[in-house]
Chains A and B, each alone.
Chain A
Amino acid sequence: MKNIDLAWLVDDDKIYTYVMTRQLQQLDCCGKLETFGNGQQAIDALQSNSGNAGELPSLILLDLNMPVLDGWQFLDQFAELRLSKRVCIYIVSSSIDPLDHDRIQQYNCVANFYVKPVKRDDIQQIIAEVKRLVDQ
């Protein structure tokens, strides 16, 4: 059995999503991986599946700078959603602006924060944390 049934990548950087998908495949830890090009697409998908736990991810790897709806706006809207499943959000961004780091602390729904590029060890760490939470 996989550690995580469903994970989402929310990022507009196609190369990053490709690389991340490959890394997750190599680690063979996710049942299924879906990619969204911006925050709005992800929010729409969460809303339409809010009662359908099978279609909701256990893990979202979220970028901050994206068109249409950026990471912050995604988090604000995410907080308003009523979901039938616990979703862990990890921020993965290129930002090293300390203001961004402080701002992340204000969001309870964010489990942790990583600066790109994410190392293999980091991914394994994230997976382990999420698995522990899901198993609880």
Chain B
Amino acid sequence: MQTRPGLYQLASQLAGLGIWEYNLENGQVYINDIVRNIVELPGTQQPSPDAFLGFFEDASTIRSLTGEVTRTASPCMITTRLITITGQRKWVKLRIQGSYEQGMCRFLYGTLEDVTVEETLQRLLEEREQRFSQAFNNAPIGMALVGLSGSWIKVNASLCEMMGYPEDEFLKHTFQDFTYHADLEIDLGYVTQLLAGRIKSYSMEKRYLHRNGNLIWALLNVSLVKSSSGEPLYFVSQIKDITEQKRNAETIRAQNDRLLNFAHIVSHNLRSHTGNIKALTDLVLREANPAEASHLMRLLSDSADSLLETISDLNNVVVIQEKTSVEKQWLVLSEMVERVRTILYASLLQEQAELRNQLPATIQVLFNPAYLESIFVNLVSNSLRYRHPERHPVIDITATETGDSIQVKVSDNGRGFDMKLYGSKLFGMYKTFHGHPDSRGLGLFMVRSQAEAMGGSVTAESVVNTGTIFTIDIPKPRHEKY
């Protein structure tokens, strides 16, 4: 029986192929050196059939397979595991074939290959694939596979939620469709570099358009997947929503600006008074004439008063700017205007002014009542103070409503002012323009501070000799992010 397999035994050595035979007639097993190596069986002695079968972890399956081959005469192959003499587990590919004489199976033979490396690799890949797929689908950030032309191949749930599209609709678009137009060129520039192999990956902050039209700020990370031959296949994109961070950063920046601006205001206003006090003191000390010295002392006292007044003003401003979480409540705008009419009753009468409240009783805003009253009182008083000398003041208060805010307009037929000259400084502290004796340059500064403390803003338009319109933009409370 050693002669029969002689030739293929030689060939098998060359191919690294393990050969085994099992003679059903005499119950002997033959294995070649390669099989011996695989199972790490020392010496030259051939194993018994049971011993050989015992190497296989799942011996019963192998046994039933051999039974089947014996019966059906059709060869079979299985990838299975065995345990070597030293206890190592190995993946092997086992082929089983029968040799027949006169319709009887005389012996079984076949090959045995060590496929541990390939099999481990294969299993690793499958496991990785599964893990990637899980990570992809369940990632808390948006992930996508994107085709070379920009079409979405696969997107995860987070990304669908971020953009507001269900997956099937999402996949009908390209990434260009969702990208905010101003950011597209930079992104495409990176894509070109990536495809040309000049960069391996890129990340950028960019804006996407949510289905509802809102802008989303995102941190995008893109890398290119290539085939084994180096052909670009598709992009893997990670997209993290940073809208909230951006918004917070913007709030912090605005707060810093306000603080810095305020620091300069404080410094400037305190300096001008203390500067005077210092200069007056120097003069008093040099002054020989008692009458003049007494005059200087009066000026000194005035300067000290101004200084105290300024400190008190600044303190009022700080109180507003510091308490951004000041109490808010729902206020009917129209009722507030009527309240202001009562407060300013005497002034309106004196100027023979007409205050026309054109607000529908339905409009409400979420605002601090004292701030809203102060804003209206300041704006209406302003209209009276800068009335046109040749006509009775007419002040209209109207409101319009858009999706996320209410715009309240206070318009008058007063003297107006030159927007080119004063537009940028109108709401600054201690800025006065008309040289009016009552002007202190605080009213509009307070209006702005109070509007901003409530998350709103205030703007002005004016035409000389025609009138001025102040617009207060009051945001509606945001219930949900999207």
Contacts and interface: CB of A to CB of B under 8 A. Distances in A.
Contacts of A117: 275-276, 278-279
Nearest to B272: A94
Which label, helix, strand, loop or mixed, suits the secondary structure of the A interface? loop
Interface string A76-100: 0000000000000000001111000
Interface residues of B, number: 26
Nearest to A67: B432
Contact of B271 (A26, A37, A116): A116
Contacts of A35: none
B272 A116 contact: yes
Contacts of A116: 271-272, 275-276
Given A13-B276, A94-B275, A96-B268, A19 B435 contact: no
A23 B283 CA distance: 8
B434 interface: yes
Interface string B281-312: 00100100000000000010011000000000
Contact of B421 (A20, A23, A69): A69
A67 B433 contact: yes
A96 B264 contact: yes
A9 to B, nearest CB: 13
Contacts of A115: 271
Contacts of A118: 279
A95 B431 CA distance: 14
Nearest to B429: A65
B180 interface: no
Q: Most chain-A CB neighbours within 10 Å: which of B276, B283, B432? A: B276
Contacts of B421: 69, 73
A67 B434 contact: yes
Contact of A95 (B268, B276, B278): B268
B430 A65 contact: yes
14 contacts: A15-B280, A16-B275, A16-B279, A20-B279, A23-B279, A65-B430, A68-B434, A94-B268, A94-B271, A94-B275, A116-B275, A116-B276, A117-B278, A117-B279
Q: Which 6 A-B pairs have the closest CB atoms?
A: A117-B275, A116-B275, A67-B432, A94-B271, A94-B272, A19-B279
Given A19-B276, A95-B264, 11 more contacts: A13-B272, A16-B279, A19-B299, A65-B430, A68-B432, A68-B435, A70-B425, A96-B264, A96-B268, A97-B264, A116-B276
